[in-house]
């Protein structure tokens, strides 16, 4: 700037500085409300496009929650009168408290699976392996009760089915589809197939606005380089089973073919 004329590079630097100052001011303004401080901080970082800081903070909190699992699991609280949702095989989801925050507590009755705990363990293992992605519902741990297992999940605001009916979270349908696709892509990169994807198993949060895949009870891991799961073990939900899986499930009716040759 020795000539008294600002260069294009200096103009860009000034614009960048102005944007940074505005981001800092916006962040400060939101935090000054002093209510729901943690939620406001997450929202502020989201609004001011500080995605790196947001990811670091969320991951740090989740690691802290998991590091305290041994002690905190003893103090899980949930209200059986506050049912958030109901699944198949007598599975209920309650509103609860864990690690000083509101959570969803999924209670799975073990006798509903004929005493086979492998299906429940499978869901927990899949969640632990994949929930570090922002489009997968987060799992904070699990606890055994008498004839039941509690799975502690992050609290979301509504299912996709509820959102379609109410539309009270401002997000474009195409963005919902994009985030679902990103979540599925992440699962497939981990060699996991969901097998029960439907509106009730897709959740939305308001702060920040995110779409998350949930309910991995029917999910399976692909082994030996396979790109499919046998239809013999497929359950899913009627009306939402993938067409290629349905084709494998269709009964094969033997045909009685007669050939008449005229002489």
pLDDT in tens, 79-114: 889 999 887 667 889 999 987 789 999 998 877 655
Name the domain boundary from 16, 40, 67: 67
- As for how many domains the chain has, the answer is 3
* Cβ atoms 147, 110 nearer than 8 A: yes
Name the domain boundary from 42, 67, 92: 67
Distance CA 24, CA 11 (A): 20
Query: Is the C-alpha dihedral spanning 104, 215, 166, 47 positive or negative?
Result: positive
Whether 259 maps to a domain, the answer reads: no
Distance CA 131, CA 150 (A): 17
* Cβ atoms 262, 228 nearer than 8 A: no
Query: Is residue 26 located within the same domain as residue 103?
Result: no
Greatest mean pLDDT among 150-164, 214-228, 245-259 = 150-164
Distance CA 198, CA 240 (A): 6
Q: What angle do CA 183, 130, 169 make, to 5 degrees?
A: 40
pTM for the model stands at: 0.60
Tell me whether the omega of the peptide bond preceding residue 208 falls within 30 degrees of 0, making it cis.
yes
Q: Any catalytic annotation for residue 19?
A: no
**Options 12, 26, 131, 196, the catalytic residue:** 196
Whether 43 maps to a domain, the answer reads: yes
The percentage of residues in the chain with a pLDDT greater than 70, rounded to a whole number, is 51
* Cβ atoms 214, 187 nearer than 8 A: no
Q: What is the pLDDT of residues 192-237, one digit of tens each?
A: 887 778 898 899 999 889 999 988 766 666 655 554 554 444 455 5
Domain that holds residue 27: 8-67
pLDDT at 91: 82
């Amino acid at each position: 700037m020795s000539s008294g004329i600002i260069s294009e590079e200096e103009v860009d630097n000034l614009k960048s500085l102005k944007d940074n100052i505005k981001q800092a001011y916006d962040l400060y303004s939101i935090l000054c409300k002093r209510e729901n401080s943690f939620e406001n901080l997450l929202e502020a970082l989201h609004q001011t496009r500080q995605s790196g800081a947001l990811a670091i903070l969320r991951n740090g909190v989740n690691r802290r929650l998991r590091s305290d699992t041994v002690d905190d699991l003893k103090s899980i609280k949930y209200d059986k009168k506050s049912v958030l949702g109901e699944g198949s095989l007598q599975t209920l989801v309650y509103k609860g408290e864990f690690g000083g925050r509101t959570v969803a507590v999924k209670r799975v009755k073990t006798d509903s699976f004929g005493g086979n705990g492998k299906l429940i363990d499978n869901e927990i293992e899949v969640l632990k392996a994949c929930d570090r992605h922002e489009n997968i519902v987060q799992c904070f741990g699990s606890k055994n009760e008498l004839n039941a297992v509690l799975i502690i999940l992050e609290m979301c605001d509504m299912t996709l089915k509820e959102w379609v009916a109410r539309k009270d979270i401002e997000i474009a349908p195409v963005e919902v589809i994009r985030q679902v696709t990103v979540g599925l892509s992440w699962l497939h990169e981990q060699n996991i197939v969901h097998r029960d994807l439907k509106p009730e198993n897709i959740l939305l949060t308001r702060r920040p606005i995110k779409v998350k895949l949930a309910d991995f009870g029917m999910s399976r891991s692909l082994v030996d380089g396979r790109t499919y799961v046998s239809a013999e073990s497929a359950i899913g939900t009627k009306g939402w089973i993938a067409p290629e899986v349905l084709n494998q499930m269709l009964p094969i009716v033997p045909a009685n073919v007669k050939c008449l040759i005229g002489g």
